[in-house]
Amino acid sequence: MALPIIDARVHVSRTISPWPEVREHLRAAAVDTALLSAHPESPQLSDDVALPLDVAGPEGPYAAYYVGGNPFSGHRRGPITVPDDLPRYSALHIRCFLSPSLDFGGSTSSAQWDPESLRAAVEREDLGELLDAARQLAMPVWLIEHFPVTLALVERFPQVRFVIPKMGAMNGGTAQVLNVLAGHSHICFDTSCGELHESIVRRIGHTRILLASGHPFNDPAEALEQVCSMSLPDEQIAAIAGGNLLELIER
């Protein structure tokens, strides 16, 4: 049986990106289903955290629990707790919870951290409890934080299966992130129309790459075309387009 095509990062909101509209957009792109997360720019972000679970099903869509805020307004959430229903989610999505903005290699945001501030950020007890809960559930964690924060969390939580979105473009730049994390076999990457070509696949291995668009920030059809246009064996394309995600979330 052919593997489904799954967009591994799609954002939904009750108002600006409702699931029925997103579902039709995915269908038009020939994408079967998706891993959903709350839209980071939602005007009711705290209410939308539960939306992915509200629409999730056994065969998709799948739900990611969102922790973070709107990186463009500087809003971040305060103290966090491990939700009682965390085991019902398929993944954890941490976006700009510790960092005040996205990090495109320093070109559009400052990602400078002094050692004391960095240590205080990554050693937060509440964040540690949440990541430990994800580890116990074998739950993958999508991570969008500044480059120094990303590396510090990967080092501090070596048993957590982190996924770096957009091939590292929002975590400090693809080249910088891959130079450090390519050898970490438990770290995966989603495409999100980031930098992706055959040489990168050969470098890190096709099993560590997940088709994703980051919709509505990118088009699922373009994300799928980016993957399918590479000169790779069909079985590797199929794995990137859906099989790797199913294995990661143990479906």
Q: Is 241 within a domain?
A: yes
Q: Is 44 within a domain?
A: yes
What's the CATH code of the domain at 13? 3.20.20.140
In the chain, the amino acid numbered 42 is S
Q: Is 42 within a domain?
A: yes
Domain that holds residue 93: 6-248
Q: Is 206 within a domain?
A: yes
What is the rounded average pLDDT for all residues in the chain? Answer: 94
Ordered strands of the 209-210 beta sheet:
6-12, 33-38, 62-68, 91-95, 141-144, 162-164, 188-190, 209-210
Q: Is 140 within a domain?
A: yes
Domain total for the chain? 1
Residue 108: what pLDDT?
52
Q: Is the pLDDT of residue 1 over 50?
A: no
pLDDT per position as a tens digit, 51-102: 999 999 999 999 999 999 877 776 677 899 999 999 999 999 999 999 988 8
Residue 69: what pLDDT?
81
Q: Is 169 within a domain?
A: yes
Q: Is 1 within a domain?
A: no
Mean pLDDT (whole number) for 132-158: 97
pLDDT per position as a tens digit, 190-242: 999 999 999 999 999 999 999 999 999 999 999 999 999 999 999 999 999 99
24 contacts: CB under 8 Å, gap ≥ 6 = none
Q: Is 137 within a domain?
A: yes
Structure tokens at 173: 């730049």
CA distance 162 to 160: 6
Q: What Cα–Cα distance (Å) separates residue 207 from each residue in 71, 159, 172, 248? A: 30, 18, 22, 10
pLDDT band of residue 13 (cuts 50, 70, 90) is: very high
